[in-house]
């Protein structure tokens, strides 16, 4: 018996499956997925305890209260907001809605792998715009545009490099795209930087072709409940609404999201924690002879030279044996690097101590020095 064949685009897909690996015994320190370091607001647990959840009922297709809360928190127009099952869902839906086989969509060289995957699932062709070192190049993106280009993805700050481009560059990108090419601004990590990217909302409100994606998975620490949202020109919102599953955002996510967005103190603590550890980790790992690429997000890209110390794969395994999970960067084309999220204070002290062991004379790779 022959098994049914998926579409050719699906058969040839190199799919993005976050490889967390088999966890070591006990509870590993997971620094491999860029989740919020401090968990989530304590008000989330209270909200879930004090509610009369009706689990037998379908949730609201779009929860009015959560949308209103988001609009008030960020001074946005509520009618332009669409909630989603994580921002991943919106990336996927945008590709399904706007790409056909034969179309091209541009993503950046060291960019989030869900972009090329979603483009390919839609049957379109992902086109890579080379980065300038570890930073997105607007010139390279604009040079990659052809008459077949339908969409451009920009994560700002970018995952996995942790770098960002400034407002003038993002606006130059928008201005340089032909009319009708959709610009997707994925701001998953921007909230760690306070109001730094507030201008993106203005770019959405004053164009027909620009959308902004946001998530509760990072600063708000709610990765597990799968809650994201986007800010759209009305026509694009209507299209996405017409193709999304009606109940993709569940009641628990809505309750958690409402409690999280109201807790400004937690958001500030979470961002302060991040800003404190960025220089600390950078300088302490540099003292050990490691290269840590500059970052503005809640993770680091650590480079291993392999000649005067361990290789990235040896380091990954060394950390795994200590119960610390980092992310291997081979799928991103950065085999000499590992990505490490910022964890709690105790986790960061432990991980820095492990880096010191790793780089000591008896650490893995020592014989190769
Ligand atoms: C750049 C970027 N966009 C989107 C996401 C997905 O976020 P969500 O959990 O909301 O689906 C991630 C998650 O790692 C990310 O790094």
Q: Does the CB atom of residue 314 touch ligand 1 within 6 A?
A: no
Residue 25's pLDDT is 67
Give domain limits for the chain: 30-38+265-360, 42-263
The partner residues of 301 in beta bridges, in order of sequence, read 339
Mutate to test the pocket of ligand 1, among 35, 36, 112, 160 (most ligand atoms within 8 A of CB): 112
Q: Please provide the distance, in angstroms rounded to a whole number, between the alpha carbons at the two ends of the chain.
A: 56
Mutate to test the pocket of ligand 1, among 30, 136, 217 (most ligand atoms within 8 A of CB): 217
Q: Does the CB atom of residue 84 touch ligand 1 within 6 A?
A: no
Quick one: tokens of 50?
Answer: 């004090």
55 φ/ψ angles, rounded to the nearest 5 degrees: -70, -15
Confidence at 101, pLDDT banded by 50, 70, 90? very high
What CA dihedral angle connects 249, 107, 30 and 366, to 10 degrees? Answer: 170
Confidence at 131, pLDDT banded by 50, 70, 90? very high
Quick one: tokens of 4?
Answer: 């049914």
Mutate to test the pocket of ligand 1, among 160, 215, 226 (most ligand atoms within 8 A of CB): 215
Question: Ligand 1 centroid vs 54 CA: distance in angstroms?
Answer: 29
Q: Does the CB atom of residue 108 touch ligand 1 within 6 A?
A: no
Residue, of 27 and 104, whose pLDDT is higher: 104
Question: Ligand 1 centroid vs 215 CA: distance in angstroms?
Answer: 7
Question: Ligand 1 centroid vs 219 CA: distance in angstroms?
Answer: 12
Q: Does the CB atom of residue 85 touch ligand 1 within 6 A?
A: no
* Section 336-355 average pLDDT: 97
Q: Cα–Cα–Cα angle for 256, 261, 267, nearest 5°?
A: 115
Sign of CA dihedral 360, 32, 284, 313: positive
Pairing of the two strands 149-155 and 125-129 = unpaired
Q: Which CATH number fits domain 42-263: 3.40.640.10, 3.20.20.70, 3.10.450.710, 3.20.20.10?
A: 3.40.640.10
Q: Residue 297 in contact with residue 157, Cβ under 8 Å?
A: yes
Q: Residue 178 in contact with residue 162, Cβ under 8 Å?
A: no
Mutate to test the pocket of ligand 1, among 17, 33, 88 (most ligand atoms within 8 A of CB): 88
- Fold classified for 30-38+265-360: 3.90.1150
Q: Does the CB atom of residue 87 touch ligand 1 within 6 A?
A: yes
Residue 262's pLDDT is 98
pLDDT at 27 over 90: no
Atom of ligand 1 nearest to the CA of 112: 1
* Section 260-267 average pLDDT: 98
- 270-298 residue pLDDT tens: 999 999 999 999 999 999 999 999 999 99
Please give the Cα distance from 343 to 281 (Å, whole number). 11
Question: Ligand 1 centroid vs 68 CA: distance in angstroms?
Answer: 23
- DSSP designation for 251: H
Atom of ligand 1 nearest to the CA of 89: 11
Which of 228, 209, 227, 247 lies closest to 98, judged by CA? 209
Question: Ligand 1 centroid vs 216 CA: distance in angstroms?
Answer: 9
Atom of ligand 1 nearest to the CA of 228: 10
Q: Percentage of the chain surpassing pLDDT 70?
A: 95
- 56-92 residue pLDDT tens: 999 999 999 999 999 999 999 999 999 999 999 999 9
pLDDT at 369 over 50: no
Residue 42's pLDDT is 97
pLDDT at 308 over 80: no
Q: Percentage of the chain surpassing pLDDT 90?
A: 85
**Does the fold of domain 42-263 match that of domain 30-38+265-360?**
no
Mutate to test the pocket of ligand 1, among 33, 86, 153, 340 (most ligand atoms within 8 A of CB): 86
Question: Atom 16, ligand 1: which residue's CA is nearest?
Answer: 159
pLDDT at 368 over 50: no
Q: What is the residue-averaged pLDDT of the chain?
A: 93
Q: Where are the alpha helices (DSSP H) in 59-149?
A: 64-74, 86-98, 114-121, 138-144
User: pTM above 0.85?
Assistant: yes
Q: Does the CB atom of residue 88 touch ligand 1 within 6 A?
A: yes
């Amino acid at each position: 018996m022959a098994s049914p064949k998926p579409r050719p685009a699906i058969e040839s897909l190199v799919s993005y499956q976050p490889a967390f690996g088999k966890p070591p015994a006990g509870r590993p320190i997971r620094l491999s997925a860029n989740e919020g370091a401090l968990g989530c607001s304590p008000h989330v647990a209270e909200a879930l305890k004090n509610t009369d959840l009706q689990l037998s009922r379908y949730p609201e297709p779009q929860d009015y209260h959560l949308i209103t809360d988001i609009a008030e928190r960020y001074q946005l127009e509520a009618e332009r907001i669409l909630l989603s099952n994580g921002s991943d869902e919106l990336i996927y839906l945008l590709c399904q809605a706007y790409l056909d086989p034969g179309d091209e969509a541009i993503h950046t060289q060291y960019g989030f792998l869900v972009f090329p995957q979603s483009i390919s699932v839609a049957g379109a062709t992902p086109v890579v715009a080379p980065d300038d070192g570890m930073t997105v190049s607007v010139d390279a993106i604009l040079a990659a545009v052809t008459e077949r280009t339908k969409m451009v993805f920009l994560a700002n700050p970018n995952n996995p490099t942790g770098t960002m481009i400034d407002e003038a560059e993002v606006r130059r990108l928008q201005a340089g795209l032909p009319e009708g090419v959709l610009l997707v601004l994925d701001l998953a990590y921007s909230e760690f930087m306070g109001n730094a990217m507030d201008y993106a909302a203005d770019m959405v409100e004053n164009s027909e072709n620009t959308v902004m994606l946001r998530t509760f998975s990072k600063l708000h620490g709610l990765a597990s409940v799968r809650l994201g949202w986007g800010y759209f020109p009305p026509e694009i919102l209507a299209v996405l609404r017409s193709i999304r599953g009606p109940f993709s955002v569940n009641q628990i996510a809505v309750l958690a999201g409402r409690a999280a967005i109201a807790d400004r103190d937690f958001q500030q603590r979470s961002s302060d924690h991040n800003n404190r550890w960025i220089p600390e980790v950078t300088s302490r790992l540099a003292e050990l002879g490691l290269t840590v690429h500059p970052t503005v997000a809640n993770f680091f890209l650590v480079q291993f030279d392999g000649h005067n110390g361990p290789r990235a794969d040896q380091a990954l395994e060394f950390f795994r044996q200590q119960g610390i999970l980092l992310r291997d960067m081979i799928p991103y084309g950065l085999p000499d690097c590992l990505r490490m999220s910022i964890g709690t204070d105790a986790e960061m002290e432990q991980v820095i101590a492990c880096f010191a062991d790793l780089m000591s004379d008896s650490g893995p790779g020592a014989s190769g020095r």
